[in-house]
Amino acid sequence: MRTFVHGAAVWDVACPQRPSLVPGVTMAGFSVRDLDALRMVPHPAVTLLLEFGTGSPVVDCAAGRQHRGSVVAGPGIGSGGAVWARGENVECVQVRLSPVIARAVLGASPADLDGTLVSLDDLWGREASRIRERLGEVASWQDRFALTDALLARRHAAGAPVDPEVAWAWDWIVGSRGLVRVDRLAAELGWSRKRLWSRFRSQLGLSPKRAVKLVRFDHAAHRLVAGESAARVAADAGYADQSHLHRDVMAFTGVTPATVAREPFLVVDDIAWPDQATPAARPHVSRAPGPSSTGDA
């Protein structure tokens, strides 16, 4: 357990001692006495927040909508700075699911989340209440991680995988840090652009173009947090110029690059997700897939 202090924010943060049983799953534990208006910055993963204990976490969304308790959010949730978390005595396990495995784990496509937050009770029914109770009963964070991981592994094994071509396209987007054209992905697969868009959107919950922009933004945002200048980040991360970076950051967060560099949601990543904080650590995918057996529709 480590303590994260950033301005007025003081959180206790726990990390698993072992990697997940399921590739594409990472998690961290948070204990926050007073969570005061935390902006949720869009991230290229499906986010699963499993709360427990006596706290009262609240997630405020656009148009005055509120969610209490455990929630699921699709990739890129929080665009425009529209989602905020707050509460007292908050305790939760935050799970990041690769969109490639999210459908199997959740029992529903990320596309079914419709770009917003969904109560885990609505998605999992009584199983959501059971996991909340069990997380509150165990005494240590490592036991909570093990309990969560066993649940995710069981659901993943019983769920339906995405098409291998869709998984490959996602891996290439992530491995290239968003520096790949959708036309090239479609051409490498032997699919039309329309077919790639349809399969990708229905199974992962966002279009290929949106995925490219989100992954590129995530890489750029973490480099800003690391202290690099906006000009250098823009030049290295595939933006046409610094103004292009500024527009993208504003679109995803509602604030400027200088403000994003100080966002607690991102700054805590070095502690909570030490192997994930910098997208550069992710493997680069350069090999095209073999000939598709399905061809173009």
DSSP string of 133-178, one letter each residue: HHHHH--SHHHHHHHHHHHHHHHHHHSPPPPHHHHHHHHHHHHTTT
> Is residue 26 over pLDDT 90?
yes
- Percentage of the chain beyond pLDDT 70 is 92
> Is residue 156 over pLDDT 80?
yes
State how beta strands 25-39 and 66-68 pair.
unpaired
User: Per residue in 210-237, pLDDT tens?
Assistant: 999 999 999 999 999 999 999 999 999 9
What pLDDT, on a 0 to 100 scale, did the predictor assign at position 283?
33
Query: What Å distances lie between residue 279 and 177, 217, 275, CA to CA?
Result: 7, 10, 9
Q: How confident is the model at residue 199 (pLDDT cuts 50, 70, 90)?
A: very high
CA quadruple 222, 228, 230, 233: dihedral sign: negative
Q: Which residue has the higher pLDDT, 116 or 91?
A: 91
Domain boundaries 164-281, CATH class: mainly alpha
Cite the residue boundaries of each domain of the chain with CATH code 1.10.10.60: 164-281
What pLDDT, on a 0 to 100 scale, did the predictor assign at position 276?
63
Cite the residue boundaries of each domain of the chain with CATH code 2.60.120.10: 2-158
Which ranges in the chain belong to alpha helices (H)? 99-106, 120-124, 126-137, 141-158, 164-175, 182-189, 193-204, 208-225, 230-236, 242-253, 257-260, 264-267, 269-272
Quick count: other Cβ atoms within 10 Å of Cβ 284? Answer: 11
What pLDDT, on a 0 to 100 scale, did the predictor assign at position 115?
67
What pLDDT, on a 0 to 100 scale, did the predictor assign at position 133?
95
CATH fold group of domain 2-158: Jelly Rolls (2.60.120)
Q: How confident is the model at residue 57 (pLDDT cuts 50, 70, 90)?
A: confident
User: Per residue in 264-292, pLDDT tens?
Assistant: 999 999 999 987 644 433 333 334 444 33
Averaged pLDDT of the chain:
90
What pLDDT, on a 0 to 100 scale, did the predictor assign at position 290?
41
